[in-house]
Amino acid sequence: MLTQPRLQSDLLKDQVAIVTGGSRGIGGATSEMLAANGTHVVIADVDCRAAQDEADEINKAFGDDCASPYVADLAATGVCDALVQDTMKARGRLDIVINNAGYVWDGRVHAMSDEQFQAMLDIHLIVPFRMARACAPIFRETAKREDAEATPRHRKFIMVSSLAAQWGLIGAANYAAAKAGMLGLMRTLAQEWGSIRVNSNAVGFGIIQTRFGLPQSEREVIETGGRTIHVGMSMKQSELMGVTIDPDHVPTNEEIYASKPDNRVALGRTGTIQEAADAIFWLASPLSDYVTGQLIAVGGGARGGMS
């Protein structure tokens, strides 16, 4: 387990959630938090081993049928539709969707290729759009049935965005633009889906400590769109930020995800994946049933324009 969820309850009992990129980092912590509170979590990830390992860990901790892996490249044509359809076929319902899958492919604008820019739009914006389109008929039919039975309930469609969507981010215009696009999609869905009781919101994270905050290595790669992407910061960026890792040492989860001091943040430190998952859980729960179309900033009081 990546975390020890701070709350275990039946608040989301019998609900079904899809968490894209749900095996590691923020996605993994979110999968664990949802499962700890009664949800069956479909962990949709491009990494087969990571998805299966996380599902196994969750089932060991919370019960034999709390999580299942779904391995696919979400950016490929038709995959989002298949994910939603297969979830409905296997589980018969869909209550929560967490659009978390993503990675970074940094570079200054003057040196960025079309492929590099498009890749960030594909995973951070096009995939959530395709997920929304695939979910729409299911959400509408479910709401129609509930209205007829006088059993209204809310469903949740959540975007994992970034404060970079508001401020921009030096060296990552592609990422910042895609995360900003998420917000326009989220707010439109909130208006289109309000009548069918689907709450559409986003979390805007500041610096959350994940493997993307480490220098790139040969050990951490993502295979997507026929490309091999090295996870993490470039060596130059790592040097500028004073982040160094022994290349011969494989970081432990404790080292990767531990909060670190940061004087650019009002609280004086970076955030943790547990704190990220807590915010997502609130939006996924009935505690936020009267909240929609909102960006919830989770950045510890990060100062605008920080990079």
User: Which of the 8 DSSP states describes residue 16?
Assistant: E
Q: Which one of 68, 156, 179, 259 is the catalytic residue?
A: 179
Residues 32 and 5: beta-carbon distance below 8 Å = yes
Q: Tokens for 36?
A: 């700890």
Active site annotation includes 113 = no
Catalytic position from the list 31, 68, 162, 200? 162
Beta bridge partners of 72: none
Query: Is 260 labeled as catalytic in the residue annotation?
Result: no
The closest of 208, 206, 202, 189 to 283, measured between CA atoms, is: 202
Among residues 70, 103, 175, 257, the one annotated as catalytic is 175
Q: Is 13 assigned a catalytic role?
A: no
At 228, give phi and psi (nearest 5°): -105, 115
- Dihedral (Cα; 228, 229, 230, 235), 10-degree rounding: 120
Beta strands across the sheet bearing 67-71: 67-71, 40-45, 16-20, 96-99, 155-162, 198-205, 295-298
CA 52 to chain CA centroid, Å, is 18
Q: Which residues are designated catalytic? A: 162, 175, 179
